[in-house]
Amino acid sequence: MKIKIFLIFLLLCLLSSLFLKETRAQSSLKSPNYEITLPNLNMVSGNADSPGYKMGVTGGQTAPGLYSSTGYKIKAGFQYIHSIIPFSFQIDSLALDFGILTPQVLTNEKTLTLTVNSGSAGGYQILARENDNLKSTALSEIPDTSCDLGDTCDYQVNAGTWTQNTTYGFGYNMAGTDVPTEFSGGKFKRFANAANIPTENPTKVMGLTPAEGHEAGKNKIATMTLRINIDNIQAAGVYQNILSFTALPTY
């Protein structure tokens, strides 16, 4: 009987000591020669791809997936490694000089290169707007383009063709990664104008949602081509305006 009591007591002591121990998640494994951050032993994990697809794989993890509640999100699994890409947005130039413009020439163009790094699973948007029409110190102005007759882009959300040298104004085209589909075929738009009444909201020039096929990645590059075409009676002067870009990642 004494032996039984002793064994029961010893077992209770062991159980109590187990319950009293602090539980911690293993955050890293270290030695003088290596460090493994957030170790996770899976049966299989990695990136697989071919000319037609890209796939991130996790196999053997206890509970992969997205878990969320008020105040936090847990992204468990190798597929979320892309979300560690920090969001960034860059424009290759802060000013464009068109020089002396030749009337009725559609090659009066300059380009801006937009570069985005986006690891967000929810996609992102790059929005643009001008502060006003191109204006000179004498208050002459170059209006925004309305695109070719019959294919109007007189509102900032509409895109249209601009192939006629008698179509005048200021506008832009987008080409490259994650650009809106309305620019396909080389179509142009005019910028949303903050000086118009009512003020026009900035419009998207780059970016996709998951429903539109967004993929996380680095060095997403798009080119904005800005065009000015004037007629023979445009007043001489130095014209300028300001373009504003807003970068919005979605998490």
Do residue 158 and residue 208 come from a single domain? yes
SS3 37: strand
In order, the DSSP letters of 50-97 are ETTEEEEEEES-SS-EEEEETTEEEEESGGGGGGGS--EEEES-S---
Do residue 111 and residue 226 come from a single domain? yes
Do residue 143 and residue 92 come from a single domain? yes
Residue 191, burial from CB neighbour count under 10 angstroms (0-12, 13-18, 19+):
buried
Q: pTM for the complete prediction?
A: 0.69
CATH of residue 98: 2.60.40
In sequence order, the β-bridge partners of residue 31 are: 34
How many domains is the chain partitioned into structurally?
2
Query: Using an 8 Å Cβ cutoff, are 144 and 170 in contact?
Result: yes
Do residue 158 and residue 211 come from a single domain? yes
Domain edge (last residue) among 43, 66, 83 = 83
Do residue 75 and residue 169 come from a single domain? no
How much is the pLDDT for 6? 41
Lookup: tokens for 89: 């947005």
The Cα angle at residue 206 between residues 202 and 210, in degrees rounded to 5: 110
Q: Which domain, by its residues, includes 196? A: 88-249
The Cα angle at residue 89 between residues 88 and 94, in degrees rounded to 5: 145
Please state, in angstroms and rounded to a whole number, the distance separating the CA atoms of residues 56 and 104.
52
Please state, in angstroms and rounded to a whole number, the distance separating the CA atoms of residues 67 and 76.
8
Query: Using an 8 Å Cβ cutoff, are 194 and 202 in contact?
Result: no
Q: Per-residue pLDDT tens, the chain, 251 aa: give them.
A: 333 334 444 444 444 444 444 445 555 677 887 777 656 566 666 677 788 777 766 676 667 778 888 877 777 766 665 557 889 999 999 999 999 999 999 999 999 999 999 988 789 999 999 999 999 999 999 999 999 988 889 888 899 999 999 999 999 999 999 999 999 999 999 999 999 989 999 999 999 998 898 888 899 999 999 999 999 999 999 999 999 999 999 87
* Residue whose structure tokens are 């009337």: 103
How much is the pLDDT for 21? 46
Do residue 98 and residue 144 come from a single domain? yes
Whether the ω angle into residue 202 lies within 30 degrees of 0, i.e. cis, is no
